[in-house]
Amino acid sequence: MSSSELVHSSALLSAAFVLYISIMFLPARAAVKLPPNETVPAVFVFGDSIVDAGNNNNMETLVKCNFPPYGKDFKGGIPTGRFSNGKVPSDLIAEQIGIKDAVPAYLDPNLQNQDLVTGVTFAAGANGYDPLTSQLMSVMTMSDQLNLFKEYIGKLKGLVGEEKANFILAKSLYTVVTGSDDIANNYFTARVRQLQYNVPEYTDLMVELASSFLQQELYYLGARRIAVFSAPPIGCVPSQRTLAGGLERACAEEYNAAAQLFNSKLSSKLDSLNSKLPHSKMVYVDIYNPLLDLIQFPRKYGFVVSDRGCCGTGNIEVTFLCNKLSPDTCTNVSEFVFWDSYHPSEKAYRTLLTPLINKYINRFF
């Protein structure tokens, strides 16, 4: 091949690659309208089982769900490692903004280059802001997830070049969903931190750790648009009703009070960070009140059952206890707010996320 032919061939390959990257940025059909001349090229996700899509699958931990009946309503009925019957919040955010249909796990062995360019989730089930929370269950800490993100950035720059990569990092939406396991599993169940902190002190620690993650790590790495989800009304989750709600399985109000205290401190901290970090758009997303209303008044939203999950008895089954041999698993998951004893169903997530996305989306611009 002559030198001129080589140059021509190289130019064609370069043009093809540019076209390929451009096609990957063509948005899916968005349900949410962004402001004029604004774009969200990717979604990056950090946190716990609410937004894990399978990162725990190959970890030496009991906290995984890559087996039936998990995923029975996901594409092809495949149990991907998502802690639900179908899609989880990260998938729905990407879908409604128009980025892609689902957000894959960064550690998915079948991950493709186009998945990297439009976003992945680094989240791990049973994670918390407190590293001890993750260590108790042998899952990735928030620092571990950040290390994967740093690795990801190197891969992204190799794929699209530094300029395009920096654009993606600055314009993308970052979603942080964690904290409930700190309160429910670490503080109130394992009770390790109770030996060191009372509830106000522990929620202070959680906020300090959240602030460090957001400011010193995520913002420093280029993140600007960051959705930080509040803790949920964790005391009203079916498993916590069973463990701490007495014979009547009432909501564990002590758990809810801790979540509310953490949320008020987190919201104030985000306001403070936004005031001192240039171009920072850290948005506090209140999931506590919408989920509590859904649990208290399920029929208002088209549900019937909110005090137990669909899988098995729904009182305690989660992860390996929710399996294809679990007796009494419901056949009408659309009536249940919760899929297992800890995680909402896809329908419940959709019910919650659609109004939340519309409420908060303009705050990132």
Catalytic residues: 49, 340, 343
**253, two tokens:** 């109000």
Is 255 strand, coil or helix?
helix
Q: Which amino acid belongs to residue 288? A: Y
Angle, in degrees to the nearest 10, between helices 89-97 and 346-360: 50
3-class DSSP state for residue 144? helix
The CA angle 312-315-316, to the nearest 5 degrees, is 85
Selection from 204, 207, 216, 362 nearest residue 283 by Cα: 362
Long-range contacts formed by 134-138: CB under 8 A, 24+ apart: 136/185, 136/186, 136/190, 136/192, 137/61, 137/62, 137/63, 137/181, 137/185, 138/59, 138/60, 138/61, 138/63
State how far the Cα of 54 lies from the Cα of 63, in Å rounded to an integer. 11
The reply to whether omega before 35 is within 30° of 0 (cis) is no
Residue with tokens 């109130």: 188
Omega before 69 within 30 of 0, i.e. cis: yes
Neighbouring-strand partners of residue 232:
none
Torsion of CA 38, 25, 56, 308, to 10 degrees: 60
CB 262 within 8 A of CB 232: no
Q: Rounded distance, CA 265 to CA 7, Å? A: 60
Residue-wise DSSP of 33-58: PPPTT-----EEEEESTTS-BSTTTT
